[in-house]
Structure 1
């Protein structure tokens, strides 16, 4: 008992004071070893296809970012426009250009959800502290909470990151509590016109499990880290007969989905359990970032309620608006 007070004081001394910046140097473990960020970074290069959303959520505007897709010149979707403000980040596309990154003289390279290899990490880490995914995650499977918390640590915004995680996780918890019928029900997200569905090793699958749904594992089971999707045979789409089937799209594949072979044979089609996600909702789900999740929940929850209510007569509005209802549906 005599050592209790000194021990408590020591523990408290390791914790940041309320409102204070997290201490530097920041040390973060990852799949390729350990990264040390010696001081608060001010020139961040984001190689992650979605990482700029996470930085913007923390109030950090990246010096350069890697554009994924979309019409915005900076690759930032509407939910990130306010946070980006008047900033004009350097835009990178396609493969990672080591020499170009070196010329930018960054003091942090954010590389979660980037697909960087061990060889690329070895080169990038000579330029600046580089943050790849965790050892236990696939290239594109780090949960959004961990992505944010790790970036929070690297940028001195850990307290801010924790507050954001608490708020958004609270919203998911409220939705689970108010929809007990979703607990254990099956759901999946697939790309419009394809028999490819995202697994629990992907952030889109994790979105559904956070609401209580069951989603498919990759071949090899839940520990097949880099198999973030599963391909079902086109001649047998019965595996896609789930309680809620969400078709993601860029807005260009409605006709392809309508003509998809054997789709009409599935119960998901016949019983009105399909959800068509338009371009903006699909992007929000595909980013699953602290900035896009609120929009995704606002838009998708009413559609899930209609699709998974067990009543084939209930019309899913987005599917109806896209002209994808089963014949006889209204």
Structure 2
């Protein structure tokens, strides 16, 4: 399997709308220009800094001036830390500069948008980066070797292939590489404080199991630990579905389910994710209707806004997802 096909396969279950999939396969949009401006960030850490990755320790000798961010959510995290990448991937097809609608950071000059599925290494090299971020991605060694030949590349951490880098580890690695570890710690603290606040306000959730269940046009799938969606639900106190945990293979963040065994995802609370489908196509499906959680009114169906926010998994998107999700979970657990 080529590295491009690996990226397509691994990312398919992470995409949330047909628009997003179309945007991910686009390239060289007319309204997106290459940025040659340096970051305005003044790093607070002393260089050189080192980051441990799957492929060994990566040393960043000087404060990066031209960063290319390729991993899922890497670019948005960089901007939250005050660094504006010159190249970025718009994984969820937000358009424009690729940032989510709820991101507080912005660009002075839009980055070059890079195709997510078939990386153009010549295009990346033409941006003359001094650092490449590929922290939440497939962990493909061939891709890493090609990128590291262009510039120092911070890839996935050990045992985090297939987009399973946790959101807080992602922030830690990126902030370290950019010399902004203190800002990174602040972002993680803010999100964790909000999660703890919600969890403490709902102690009854710790006695309930919760599953995030997705439906595409071809299959059902339940998300597992290591995915931002499942991790957030468990962070709020819900216990993982043991059957789904047991079925999850090492290095994967979801379990494919057939219509016949989709009820393995049944839990005290089920959060439904329609992927490249409408919400009605999920809620009208006979498989969805037969779940006990659905029959008893203990299910939540994510709309596009919530699906994108919880899927992106950056600090800003996590906070936005909490604002949307918590009231729905409260209704579902009454």
User: TM-score normalised to the size of structure 1?
Assistant: 0.82
1:155 positional shift: 0.5
In structure 2, relative to structure 1, the CA distance for the partners of 1:265 and 1:210 (3 Å cut) is: same
Structure number with bigger Rg? 1
Which of residues 186, 198, 201 is equivalent to 2:226? Answer: 201
Equivalent position of 1:258 in the other structure: 283
Q: Which structure 2 residue ranges, 5 or more long, are not aligned?
A: 1-41
Aligned pair count?
A: 290
SS of 2:315's equivalent? coil
Contact kept? 1:199, 1:218, Cα under 8 Å: no
Q: Distance in 1 between matches of 2:167 and 2:242?
A: 19
Task: Check if 1:53 corresponds to 2:76.
Answer: yes
Equivalent position of 2:202 in the other structure: 179
Q: Distance in 2 between matches of 1:130 and 1:223?
A: 29
Equivalent position of 1:6 in the other structure: none
In structure 2, relative to structure 1, the CA distance for the partners of 1:46 and 1:225 (3 Å cut) is: farther
1:210 positional shift: 0.9
In structure 2, relative to structure 1, the CA distance for the partners of 1:164 and 1:201 (3 Å cut) is: closer
In structure 2, relative to structure 1, the CA distance for the partners of 1:197 and 1:148 (3 Å cut) is: same
1:159 positional shift: 0.7
Runs of 4+ in 1 over 3 A off after TM superposition: 216-225, 249-252
Which of residues 27, 30, 39 is equivalent to 2:62? Answer: 39
SS of 1:133's equivalent? coil
1:166 positional shift: 1.4
Equivalent position of 1:92 in the other structure: 114
- Within a 5 Å distance, the mapping from 1:136-147 to structure 2 comes to 136-147=159-170
Q: Distance in 1 between matches of 2:94 and 2:165?
A: 26
SS of 2:280's equivalent? helix
Deviations 1:263-305 (A, max 9, x none): 2222111111111111111100001111111111111001001
| Higher alpha-carbon deviation: 174-183 or 241-250 | 241-250
Task: Check if 1:233 corresponds to 2:258.
Answer: yes
Equivalent position of 1:30 in the other structure: 53
Q: Distance in 2 between matches of 1:216 and 1:159?
A: 35
Q: Distance in 2 between matches of 1:222 and 1:206?
A: 17
Tell me how large the CA RMSD over aligned residues is: 2.2
Indicate the structure whose relative CO is greater, using CA pairs within 8 Å and at least 6 residues apart: 2
Equivalent position of 1:326 in the other structure: none
1:47 positional shift: 0.8
1:217 positional shift: 6.3
Equivalent position of 2:18 in the other structure: none
Equivalent position of 1:63 in the other structure: 86
Task: Check if 1:151 corresponds to 2:206.
Answer: no
